[in-house]
Amino acid sequence: MLNLPFRSRALCRTLIVVATSMLVSSACASDRMPSQVQGRASAAAEQQTATSFTQWQSEFREQALAAGIRADIFDQAFAGLSPDAAVLKADQSQPEFTRPVWEYLDGALSSQRQATGRVMLGRHAAMLQQIEARYGVDRHILVAIWGLESNFGSNMGERSVIRSLATLAHQGRRSDFAQTQLLAALEILQRGDTNISGMTGSWAGAMGQTQFIPTTYNDYAVDFDGNGKRDIWHSEADALASAANYLKQSNWQSGASWGAEVRLAEGFDYSLADMSVRKSPADWAALGVTDARGRALPTGSSDTATLILPAGHRGPAFLINNNFRSILRYNNSTSYALAIGLLSERLQGQGQIHASWPTTDKPLSRSERLELQELLENSGFEPGSVDGIIGANTRQAIRQLQIALGWPADGYADHQLLQVLRNRIN
């Protein structure tokens, strides 16, 4: 169903709406082939894939050599290489259900992760002090990143990075991106920081204790323990200093915080909660923003801050600083950056959230997000591309609809809004 054009997906959704639950499975199963036919077709497809992989490889070899990769390095890396079906499957699966931010945070901030983080802070105290001194990045942030990226080095991914990236460059959804990463991975091998069997990672090619993709590795990894190799797989010092270097180069401001939970006055204009809006703490205070306990905001800093509402206006509000945006460079997910900020505080016995999450508001599923975007478009709002991703354009379209309805304009996609759009059409 995933590869069908959008209209067919819309048709299948219509069937789901009118069908009983028994019929739902058969309606969508009609997209599938009988198993024997499917078996023959997939054998043929495998043969075709194998042929085209060989062809792709010889074309890519030319490019790699033109980019300065030595023939012996390339040939060693590709010796006996075949596409990894599991990688392709992972790339093509687009989960129907999104975990709510509060459930994501429960996992990210688990008591187990906090306990291990505290042990690591103690065990590596001297090294972390040296890294802080050189890069100016708070050790609790670094340990939080380490904890979320690889569970402190215990879950780095066991797949061959060359094989995963070659699979994705050949047939993945973002093959240009994968090809760039594959070239960068070959550069790493050529420089000798690691070898083919040592270059392991996630199915998407994220490597080592910090889960750097190869281009990030080439740009930001450092040899902090001084053994001549940038080893983010085995050396905690190299891994954590590399993360610190990455944040420093992403405008990390030494001594500044990532942000904090805040409270908003009654009748607050929620349209101001947007990544494009930056104001000084004094300006936010003048608009009725207080700290999470309702006390005056500290207004000493002239740095601008941005208001975010990760679960809409019914959930907690946060004022985020430039360092939060540096964490987003590492992983462009608000939930992730929030988890890093909060975990860094939990490691110090703080970081409790005061407001409640709206746990009865389940996030829209992928097909509901597609439907919402389609209905927004049909209603004359402009949600951008209908891709199931609630980005800046979709949020803007939602705000316009909310304003038209006289609702709080938080730009948050929820079931109430979807229902209003459905009723408008019918």
Distance of alpha carbon 78 from alpha carbon 195, whole angstroms:
13
Strands of 9-163, DSSP E: 159-160
Bridge partners of residue 414, in order along the sequence:
none
b (16+ CB within 10 A) / e for 15-28:
eeeeeeeeeeeebb
Interface characters, 363-392, with Ca ion (x: CB under 5 A): ------------------------------
CB of 120 to Ca ion, least distance (A): 19
CB of 248 to Ca ion, least distance (A): 18
Contact 147, 210 (CB under 8 A): no
- 246: buried, middle or exposed (CB in 10 Å: 19+, 13-18, 0-12)? buried
What does each C-alpha distance from 45 to 48, 49, 90, 96, 110 come to in angstroms?
5, 6, 18, 26, 44
In the sheet where 289-291 sits, what is the strand order?
A: 289-291, 259-264, 317-320, 306-308
Contact 230, 222 (CB under 8 A): yes
Nearer to Ca ion, 235 or 323 (CB): 235
Q: Find the binding residues for Ca ion in span 283-322 (CB under 5 A).
A: none
SS3 at position 81? coil
- Residue from 231, 232, 254 nearest 145 by CA: 232
Nearer to Ca ion, 2 or 126 (CB): 126
CB of 230 to Ca ion, least distance (A): 6
CB of 234 to Ca ion, least distance (A): 9
Tokens of 27: 């309606």
Tokens of 109: 């901030």
Bridge partners of residue 207, in order along the sequence:
201, 212
CB of 146 to Ca ion, least distance (A): 16
51 binds Ca ion (CB under 5 A): no
Nearer to Ca ion, 208 or 388 (CB): 208
Nearer to Ca ion, 84 or 238 (CB): 238
Q: Which residue is nearest to Ca ion (CB)?
A: 223
Nearer to Ca ion, 84 or 193 (CB): 193
Nearer to Ca ion, 245 or 373 (CB): 245
Nearer to Ca ion, 159 or 229 (CB): 229
Q: How many residues touch Ca ion (CB under 5 A)? A: 7
CB of 246 to Ca ion, least distance (A): 16
CB of 286 to Ca ion, least distance (A): 50
Tokens of 66: 């033109």
Nearer to Ca ion, 236 or 414 (CB): 236
Q: Find the binding residues for Ca ion in span 102-121 (CB under 5 A).
A: none
Nearer to Ca ion, 225 or 283 (CB): 225
44: number of Cβ within 10 Å: 10
Distance between first and last Cα of the chain: 26
Which residues touch 195 (CB under 8 Å, ≥6 apart)?
A: 189
Nearer to Ca ion, 206 or 232 (CB): 232
Distance of alpha carbon 257 from alpha carbon 138, whole angstroms:
9
251: number of Cβ within 10 Å: 11
CB of 237 to Ca ion, least distance (A): 7
CB of 209 to Ca ion, least distance (A): 12
CB of 233 to Ca ion, least distance (A): 10
Q: Find the binding residues for Ca ion in span 213-272 (CB under 5 A).
A: 223, 225, 227, 229, 231, 235, 238
Tokens of 373: 């975007």
Per CB under 5 A, residues contacting Ca ion are: 223, 225, 227, 229, 231, 235, 238
